[in-house]
Structure 1
Amino acid sequence: MPATIVRVLPISGFEKLLDYRVPATIDGTLKLGCLVRVPIRNRQELGVVMEFSSAAQFPPGKLKQITQQIMEYPVLTLDSAELMYWMHDYYGAGFEALLETFIPAAVRKGMGQKLEKQVMLAGKFSKDDFETLNKRARKQALTYQFLRDQVKPLKKSLVEKRLKISSSVLNGLIEKGLVKEVSEVVERLAYDDDFSEVEEIDDQSFQLTKEQERCVQSVRKSLGTNRFHVHLLHGVTGSGKTEVYLQAIESVIRDGKDVIFLVPEVALTPQTVGRLRARFNRFDFKTVVWHSHLSSGERLDAWTSLASGEARVVVGARSALFAPLDNVGLIIVDEEHEPAYKQEETPRYHARDVAVFRAKLCNAVCVLGSATPSLESLYNVSTKKYLSDRLFKRVDNRMMPTVHVVDMRQEFISQKGAVTLSRILVNHLRDRLKRREQSILFINRRGYSRSMICPECGWVAMCRHCSIPMTFHRKFNKLVCHLCGHEHEAYNRCPECRSAKVKWKGTGTQKVEDVVKQALPQATVVRIDADTMQKKNLFRKILGDFRMGKIDILVGTQMIAKGLDFPNVTLVGLIDADLSMHVPDFRAHERTFQLLVQVAGRAGRGDLSGEVIVQSFTPHVGPIQYARREDFHGFLEDELQTRKEHEYPPYRNLIHHLFRGMNPQKVEFFAEQWVKHLEKSDLNWLEIRGPVPAPIEKIKDYYRYQIWYFTKNVSKTVPVLLQLREDFPMPEDVIDVFDVNPVNLV
C-alpha cells in the first residue's frame, strides 16, 4: 500500500507547503490541522498539516517522513485554515506571523499540564496505635486527625499552611503508609478566583422590553436559517444590548453550537465572563477567557478546553477570534466601533472584519453591537450588507444623562489661569460625595503631565529616539516616551538656557488624581490606567472595590470609557474633550463623538439619574454639540457628507504603506523610487498619494515616510502591490510595511 503524503506548512522560515510521508504509526490518526514535527534541512521544525496529497514533487521513496505528531486533535480547525489563507491574501500577512497568531506559544512550545500534590488517608488506624502516635509525634497525630475529617483529597501545601506544620510531618505519615500522596492535574481557569464572586453579577433572566424582544427575535430568525448573516445591534448606552447577546447565546448553546464573544478591552472581560457564568452555570459546558494578560498556563488550559470541546464559549479580546472551535454558530463583537480591535503589529488585521469573514466561513451569525457604530458598519447597513436592529430606549425607561458642556475659555478667564477641573465639576463631585453616590473622571492620556517645557527659551523635552515630547511621570520623577519606552530623569533646569522655570504642560491621570484629592480630601480616589495595570489582577481588584462602593471617584483613561456598568455612578466628567479632535486623522470627529457618547453612558445606569460634565475649549464644534443633544442621525449625515466629498472610508478603502530606516535620505529616495515603479504599471483604478514624511517622522531612531493608496477593491489591490514589491530592489536597511484599512493614521 503506497504511503500517505501530506503537505505541511512550517511555522517558521517558510512561506510555502512542503511534502512529507506519513509514518504508519500515525497514518490512521493524522488529520488536517494537526501540529507535527518535521525535518527541514538539518533541523527539526514544527508545522501544520494543511493538505492530504496523492502526488508530490518527488517520488514517495525520496520524501522525508514526519517525525512526530504533537497533539491528537487539530490545532487549526478547517474554517480557521481557510480564514488564515484569506488573511494572507487580504492583508498581505505572512504565514509565519499568522500561524503564531492562530496557535498560542504555549501550544507550540509543548507546555505541560499543571500537576498539584494532594494528600489523603491511605488506611485506618487502631485507637491504640493512634494513642501511641499521639504521644511520640503529636503533630503527625493531629494532621492524621485533620485529614480523617476531610471528604476529599487536599492540596499538600494547603494542609501544611493551615496546620502550620513543616513538610516533614506529612512525609513521616506517608512513610508510615498512613497518608497517600497523589499528583492531580489542575486546570488553570482564568477568573475562577477570589475576585470572581464580585464579578458574577446577579444575572437572572428578566422581562425583555419590546425593543429587546424584537431584536432577539430578529437574531434568532437568522440563527434558524443556519446561514451567514450580520446584524448591527445599535442601542443607546444602558439599553440592554448585553441581554440581547445572552438570549442569542442561549439559543446557540441549546442548538449544540459554539460562541465567540469579543470585547475591545481586557478590563471588560471579567464583567462579561461574570455575566455569562452566572447565566449559564446550569449548562454542562465551560466559559473560558482569552487575552494577552493571561499566564502561559492559563492560555494553554483555555485553548485545550476549547480544542477538546469541553468549553463552548470563549470571551476575550482580538485573539479570542482564533479560538479552535469547530462548530461556531455565533460571533459577537461588542463595542464594534472601538479602534482597539485593530492590530497594529504584524499581522495587521481588524478583528471586526475578520469576525465577519469567519462567520461567513462557518455559516454563522455575527452580531456587531455598539451605542456609537462605526461609519463603516452603518454604511454596510445602508447598502443592505448588514441587517439593522435598534434599541432606542434605556431599560426600565431610565432617562439618558443630562449633559453640561463647560467652556474652559471662560474658566481660564474667571480663575485667572489654566485649571484642571472647572468649578461646576468640583461642585458636582462634592454633591455626589454628600449623597454617597459615585463618580468617574475620564482623561484620554496617562502620566502626570503631557510634556515638560521651558517658558524662557521654548525648549521641549523630546525623545531622542522619536520625534514626540516625553511624558512626565511624577511617581518616578521621570520622563517617559510612550512610543519607545525611553526614560530620562526629570529636569530641574532647562538644558538649553539653564532656566529654573521649567514647567509641565498638559494634564495626565496622575495630575487629575492629585487635584481631586486636594479639592476633596475626604474622598477615596483611585486611578486606573495602563501604568497602574502592570500588576496582574490589579484592575479587577479596583473594579471590584468600585462596584462594592469602597471607592468614591475613579479616575481613568480609555479602559473605563466603555462597556462598564456601575449602577451607583451618577456623575461622569470628561476632562479634555478636545484632545481627540486635534490629530491629523479624518476619523477625528467620529472618535470624539463616540468618546463623548460612550463616556456619558457610564452615568445613570441604575435607579438614579445621571449627569455628565464635558470640559472643552471648543464647545461649539459639531461632535460636541451633536453628542450633547444625543443627535446621532444629525452627526451621521454631516460626517458621511464630508467623507463622501473626499472619498474617504467607507466610500473607498485605504492602504497605508510605511517606509522606515535610520538614514532619512535613503528612506525618502526609495519611497520615491517605489512610486515611480508603480507608475510604470497599469494601475488607473488606484489613487496614490505620497510619499510624504509620517506625522511622527521618527520612532525608535527610525525615520518614516508614508504612501497612501485609495481603492474600492482591496482583494484586487493587495496581491498586485505584493507582486510588484517582489520585483522591486529594496535594500535591507529600508523596511516597508503594508497596512490595510488602518485606524491609527499617526
Structure 2
Amino acid sequence: MLEFNETQHTDRITLFAEVILPLAISKNYTYRVPYELNDVVEVGKRVVVQFGKSKLYTAVINDITEVAPERYQAKYLMEVLDDRPVVTTQQLDFWKWLADYYLCNTGEVMAAALPAALKLASETRIMLNPDGEVDRSLLHDKEFLIVDALDIQPILTVSDIVKLLGQKIVMPVLKSMFDKNIIHISEEVSERYKPRKRAYVRLNPFYQDQEMLKELFVQLERRAPKQADAVLAYIKLSREQKQISKNDLMEASGVGASIIKSLTEKEVFFIEEKNVSRLYYEDNSEFATFELSDVQQNVLEDIQDQFKQKEVVLLHGVTSSGKTEIYIRLVEEAIAAGKQVLYLLPEIALTTHVIERLRKYFGNDIGVYHSRFNDNERVEVWQKVLNHEYKVVLGARSSVFLPFDNLGLVIIDEEHETSYKQFDPAPRYNARDAAIYLANRYQAKVLLGSATPSFESYFNARTKKYGFAELTERFGGVSLPETKVVSITEEMKRKTMQSHFTSVLMEAIEEALKSKEQVILFQNRRGYAPVLVCRVCAFTPRCINCDVSLTYHKSSSHLHCHYCGYKEESLSICPACGSTHLEYKGFGTEKIEDELQVLLPDARIARMDLDTTRARNAYQNLLNDLEEKRIDILVGTQMVAKGLDFSDVTVIGIINADSLLKYPDYRANERSFQMLAQVSGRAGRRGKQGKVVIQTYNPEHRVIDQVIRNDYKELYLTEIEERKSFKYPPFYRIIQMDIKHRDAEKLYHQAEYLGVELRKHFGDRVIGPEYPLISRIRNFYIKSIMLKFERDTISIVKVKAVIRDVIQEFQTTKLSKGCIVQPDVDPY
C-alpha cells in the first residue's frame, strides 16, 4: 500500500476521494485530497481532476476514505467546485442501480444525468450569454481576459482558457462567471440560448388624463375607427389585467398588427419587448378550480385505497376520460403532505402543452425539465429542485435524474410510450421502469396512466403485482368517435380515390371545413417520398453511410438519410443507366401536405413532424395556431397521436394503417393498436362526437376490428398467449447485444466468437448472431445477439454478471480491436 503521510504532517489525516468521471470506464478512479481541502470535500460535491496526461474533468465524489489505491499512485485532486453537494446520496445509489441494471458504467449514467454546465471538461465550449448584460468595470482581471477573448473569438474551449490564463485551475473562474450569467456553457454549440420574448403594450401616460383620452378617442373614431377599437379594447383589458400583451390586444380588438403599429408611431401606445421566463409564470394569483364527476371521484378513491397496499397502480382510462383531473387531485394531496411530485410525459413537446393546463392549478410550484432546455435553464431547474423550490416537476424521461430528496408521488402519463426508452447512447434505460425503482427508494407511490397500457404493465396489474383502476367512459358523457374503415383497394377499383385520399375521407374533411371544424391527418412517415426509383433499371439512391434508401424531401430538394443525416441533391438522370425516367414511390407527410394544398386550396394546412419542429418553439407555435384556429388541417407523424386535446378537432384521418400493422416485430399488433387508438382519441373530445377514417388495404385485419370496438382486453388476451408460446416479455426477459465494426468480415468473426462464448453459459437461450433489419448505420456494420431468460426461475443479477465477464474477456483479446459491443436490457 502506498504511504502518503509524511512526518511533518503527522497531525493531519490523509484523505482519498473515489470519484465518478463522466466517461465509459468500468471502475471509479481515486484521487488524493490536498490537506487544505480536507474540510471541504464531501460526497456529492464536484471536483476538478486530471485524467490521463492532460485532460481536465469535473468529477463527482462518490466516497471518501483514508485507504490509498493499491494498484496506482493517486494524483491530487485540484479543486472542489461546490459549497454543498449538487448530487444527493440517493442519486448516487440510483446511478449505481442504473449502471448495474442496464449493463453500462456509472460514468455513462453521470454523463446523461448531469446538465452539461455541471460537468465541465477540457473540450467543453464556452460562449458569452447573448442575454447577459456585462458590466466590465465589475470584472476581475481573469474574468475580463475571458470576456475580451470571447469578443474576438465567440467560442472557446476550457483548454483554450487554460492557455489564455496560463494556469490549469480555471473551473472555479468559469463557474463564477456562469453563476453571474456572463457566460453560456454548452456541449452543443448549435443550441445557443435564445430568450423567449413577448411584446407588451402600454398606453402613453399622457392619455391617463380622462379628458385627453376622451379627445383622442373622438378623433380616432372619426378618422381611424379600427384604431379606436384597439384603444377601447386596451381600456377594457386594463381593468382585468396588469400587463397586456400585443397578441391579447389584437385578439380582443379584432385588429391586425398594422393598426397597433400605427398607434405606436403616433405614440398612443408604447411597445415593450420582455423576456418571458420558461421557468416561471407571470401572474398566477388566482388558481383554477374544478369538480370531479361521480365516476372520476369513485376512481380517485379506488386509487387512494389501493395505494394503501400497492406501491404502483395502473389507471386504464379511455381517451378523453379525464385522467389529468385525477392526476391533479393526487398531486394536490402529495403537496399538502409536504412531498415532491415527479410528473413524467413521453414527449418533450407535450410538456409545453400540458404545462399550460397544470399551471392554472399549481402556478410557480411547477418546474419543467427536458433536453430542449439550454444548459443555463437546466442548471437552474436542477438547483431549484435541490433547494425544494419546486413541489412538482413536469418533464420528459431525463427528469428522473433530478436531485429529489422528498419524493412522494410519481405520475407516468402515457406509460406505454416507446419514447420513455433511451436507445443511444448508454445508459439505455426505460424512464418508466427507472422511475418505479426511484419511487421505491423514497417509499413514494407511482400512478401509471394510459388509454392503451403496455402489456407488461397490464400483465402486472392482472397478476396483482400492481393495483388497477379503470375509467371506461369519456368525461361529460361524450361518445367515443365513430370509426369508419375504408378499403383502399375497393376505392381504387371504383376509381374514387383522389391521390392518397379515399372518397369517404375527403367527404369527412370537406364537411368539417364547412362546419368550421378542424382535421388531423396521420401518416407515420416524414419526407415527400421514401424511395426514388429508375423505371428502366430499378436503381434506387442509397445512403453512403447506411444500408437504407434515401428519402426525398421537396422542401430542400434533397435526398435525406433519416439515420445519419447524410444529404445529396435529388437526381434527374439515373447514374446507373442514364435514363431520365425516375419516379417517386410511396409518400410521407410532406407529400400529403402538398397534395392537400392542390385539392383544398382554401384550407389552411400545416405539417407536424421532425422536420417542422426542429426549432426550439416550433412545436408550441403549431399547437398555439391549432388552438387558436389558424390551422384547418394538421398533417403529422406520431407526434399528433400523443396527448393533444383540442375541442374543435372532429375528424381524424389515418392515411395508411398498413405501414403500422406489417412491421416485423413481435410487438407490431400491440403498437399498432396503441397508435391507432391514440390517434383516434384526438377526435371529438368535447361536446360533439368525432369521426375517424382508417384507410387500409386490409380492412378485415383483427387489430383494426379491435380498434373499432375499442377492445383492448381482447387484443391483450390474444397476444399474451403468443408471447408465452414464443418466449417473449412479460414471461421472459430480453437482453440484446449489438456488435459493431467498420469491417464486415471482422465483425462476422467477432460476433460468432461472442455467440459461442455466451452459449457456453446460456445454451439455447442465445439467439444469433444475426443481421438486424438495417445492418449498417454510420459506416458501422451491425450484428445482433438476443438472449432470452425466464423471468421467475433464473437470477437476472447472476446473468448480468456473467454477461459483463464475457464482454470484458472478449475486450482483452486481439480479436476485439475496433469492435463496439452494446448491451441493451429490455430493448423494446
Same fold (TM over 0.5): yes
Q: Confirm or deny that 1:190 pairs with 2:190.
A: no
Q: Which amino acid aligns with 1:9?
A: I
In 2: Cα distance, 1:499 partner to 1:314 partner: 58
Q: Give secondary structure in 2 for the equivalent of 1:440.
A: strand
Match of 2:119 among 79, 103, 108: 108
Match of 1:76 among 62, 87, 97: 87
Q: Show structure 2 runs of 5+ residues with no match.
A: 1-10, 136-204, 207-241, 243-262, 266-273
Q: Confirm or deny that 1:240 pairs with 2:322.
A: yes
Q: Give secondary structure in 1 for the equivalent of 2:774.
A: strand
Match of 2:20 among 9, 31, 35: 9
User: What does residue 687 of structure 1 align with?
Assistant: 765
Tell me by how many angstroms 1:272 deviates. Answer: 1.5
Q: Answer whether contact 1:402 1:610 (CA < 8 A) is retained.
A: yes
User: What does residue 109 of structure 2 align with?
Assistant: 98
Tell me by how many angstroms 1:27 deviates. Answer: 4.7
User: What does residue 635 of structure 1 align with?
Assistant: 715
Q: Give secondary structure in 2 for the equivalent of 1:344.
A: coil
User: What does residue 741 of structure 1 align with?
Assistant: 826
Distance 1:667 1:608, change over 3 A: same
Match of 1:319 among 388, 398, 404: 398
Q: Which amino acid aligns with 1:212?
A: Q
Match of 1:206 among 274, 277, 290: 290
Residues 651-677 of structure 1, C-alpha deviation per residue, up to 9 Å, x if partnerless?
101111111212212111111122222
Q: Confirm or deny that 1:49 pairs with 2:45.
A: no
Q: Which amino acid aligns with 1:314?
A: V
Tell me by how many angstroms 1:54 deviates. Answer: 4.8
Distance 1:614 1:26, change over 3 A: same
Distance 1:189 1:322, change over 3 A: farther
User: What does residue 167 of structure 1 align with?
Assistant: none
In 1: Cα distance, 2:279 partner to 2:529 partner: 34
Q: Which amino acid aligns with 2:646?
A: F
In 2: Cα distance, 1:59 partner to 1:647 partner: 45
Deviation larger for 368-377 or 728-737:
728-737
Q: Which amino acid aligns with 1:731?
A: S
Q: Give secondary structure in 1 for the equivalent of 2:771.
A: strand
Query: Identity over the aligned pairs, expressed in percent?
Result: 34
Tell me by how many angstroms 1:63 deviates. Answer: 6.0
Q: Confirm or deny that 1:330 pairs with 2:409.
A: yes
Q: Give secondary structure in 1 for the equivalent of 2:822.
A: strand
Q: Answer whether contact 1:653 1:741 (CA < 8 A) is retained.
A: yes
Match of 2:785 among 701, 704, 707: 707
In 2: Cα distance, 1:58 partner to 1:651 partner: 45
Distance 1:418 1:609, change over 3 A: closer
Q: Give secondary structure in 1 for the equivalent of 2:756.
A: helix
Q: Which amino acid aligns with 1:526?
A: A
Q: Confirm or deny that 1:269 pairs with 2:351.
A: yes
Tell me by how many angstroms 1:578 deviates. Answer: 0.9
Q: Which amino acid aligns with 1:278?
A: K
Number of residue pairs the alignment of both structures matches: 670
Q: Answer whether contact 1:92 1:722 (CA < 8 A) is retained.
A: yes
Tell me by how many angstroms 1:17 deviates. Answer: 3.2
In 2: Cα distance, 1:70 partner to 1:228 partner: 42
In 2: Cα distance, 1:710 partner to 1:248 partner: 38
Q: Answer whether contact 2:522 2:679 (CA < 8 A) is retained.
A: yes
In 2: Cα distance, 1:527 partner to 1:404 partner: 24
Tell me by how many angstroms 1:714 deviates. Answer: 3.5
Q: Which amino acid aligns with 1:734?
A: C
Q: Give secondary structure in 2 for the equivalent of 1:618.
A: coil
TM-score with structure 2 setting the length: 0.76
Tell me by how many angstroms 1:21 deviates. Answer: 5.0
Q: Which amino acid aligns with 1:232?
A: L
Alpha-carbon RMSD across the aligned residues, in angstroms, is 2.9
In 2: Cα distance, 1:737 partner to 1:244 partner: 40
Q: Which amino acid aligns with 2:462?
A: S
Tell me by how many angstroms 1:64 deviates. Answer: 5.2
Tell me by how many angstroms 1:549 deviates. Answer: 1.1
In 2: Cα distance, 1:394 partner to 1:401 partner: 10
Q: Confirm or deny that 1:304 pairs with 2:383.
A: yes
Q: Give secondary structure in 2 for the equivalent of 1:727.
A: helix
Distance 1:557 1:396, change over 3 A: same
Distance 1:471 1:697, change over 3 A: same
Distance 1:689 1:12, change over 3 A: closer
Summarize the alignment of residues 129-208 of structure 1 with structure 2, pairs less than 5 Å apart.
Answer: 189-190=277-278, 204-208=288-292
In 1: Cα distance, 2:64 partner to 2:741 partner: 43
Q: Answer whether contact 1:10 1:45 (CA < 8 A) is retained.
A: yes
Q: Give secondary structure in 1 for the equivalent of 2:372.
A: coil
In 2: Cα distance, 1:39 partner to 1:694 partner: 40
Tell me by how many angstroms 1:733 deviates. Answer: 1.8
In 2: Cα distance, 1:105 partner to 1:330 partner: 28
User: What does residue 131 of structure 1 align with?
Assistant: none
Q: Give secondary structure in 2 for the equivalent of 1:468.
A: coil
Q: Answer whether contact 1:8 1:49 (CA < 8 A) is retained.
A: yes
Residues 99-157 of structure 1, C-alpha deviation per residue, up to 9 Å, x if partnerless?
11111111223989975579xxxxxxxxxxxxxxxxxxxxxxxxxx99xxxxx9xxxxx
In 1: Cα distance, 2:620 partner to 2:333 partner: 30
Distance 1:40 1:503, change over 3 A: closer
TM-score with structure 1 setting the length: 0.84
Summarize the alignment of residues 186-585 of structure 1 with structure 2, pairs less than 5 Å apart.
Answer: 189-190=277-278, 204-221=288-305, 229-281=311-363, 286-345=365-424, 346-415=426-495, 419-585=499-665
In 2: Cα distance, 1:187 partner to 1:711 partner: 54
Tell me by how many angstroms 1:545 deviates. Answer: 1.1
Match of 2:683 among 593, 598, 603: 603
In 2: Cα distance, 1:664 partner to 1:65 partner: 44
Q: Which amino acid aligns with 2:802?
A: V
Q: Give secondary structure in 1 for the equivalent of 2:562.
A: coil
Q: Answer whether contact 1:228 1:360 (CA < 8 A) is retained.
A: no
Residues 51-88 of structure 1, C-alpha deviation per residue, up to 9 Å, x if partnerless?
2335444799x865543221233232222111111111
Q: Answer whether contact 2:24 2:105 (CA < 8 A) is retained.
A: no
Distance 1:38 1:699, change over 3 A: closer
Q: Answer whether contact 1:509 1:557 (CA < 8 A) is retained.
A: yes
Residues 9-61 of structure 1, C-alpha deviation per residue, up to 9 Å, x if partnerless?
2333643234445556655554321112235465543221212335444799x
Structure number with the bigger relative contact order (C-alpha 8 A, sep ≥ 6) is: 1
Tell me by how many angstroms 1:206 deviates. Answer: 2.0
Q: Answer whether contact 1:441 1:554 (CA < 8 A) is retained.
A: yes
In 1: Cα distance, 2:744 partner to 2:457 partner: 39
Q: Answer whether contact 1:693 1:705 (CA < 8 A) is retained.
A: yes
Q: Answer whether contact 2:25 2:105 (CA < 8 A) is retained.
A: no
Q: Answer whether contact 1:228 1:359 (CA < 8 A) is retained.
A: no
Distance 1:701 1:17, change over 3 A: closer
In 2: Cα distance, 1:86 partner to 1:418 partner: 55
In 2: Cα distance, 1:735 partner to 1:65 partner: 33
Q: Which amino acid aligns with 1:257?
A: K
Q: Which amino acid aligns with 2:94?
A: L
In 1: Cα distance, 2:745 partner to 2:22 partner: 36
Match of 1:67 among 66, 71, 78: 78
Deviation larger for 15-24 or 315-324:
15-24
Distance 1:13 1:403, change over 3 A: closer
Q: Show structure 1 runs of 5+ residues with no match.
A: 119-144, 147-151, 153-161, 165-185
In 1: Cα distance, 2:365 partner to 2:327 partner: 17
Q: Answer whether contact 2:24 2:108 (CA < 8 A) is retained.
A: no
Deviation larger for 544-553 or 462-471:
462-471
Tell me by how many angstroms 1:742 deviates. Answer: 1.1
Distance 1:192 1:421, change over 3 A: farther
Tell me by how many angstroms 1:647 deviates. Answer: 1.3
Tell me by how many angstroms 1:556 deviates. Answer: 0.8
In 2: Cα distance, 1:438 partner to 1:59 partner: 69
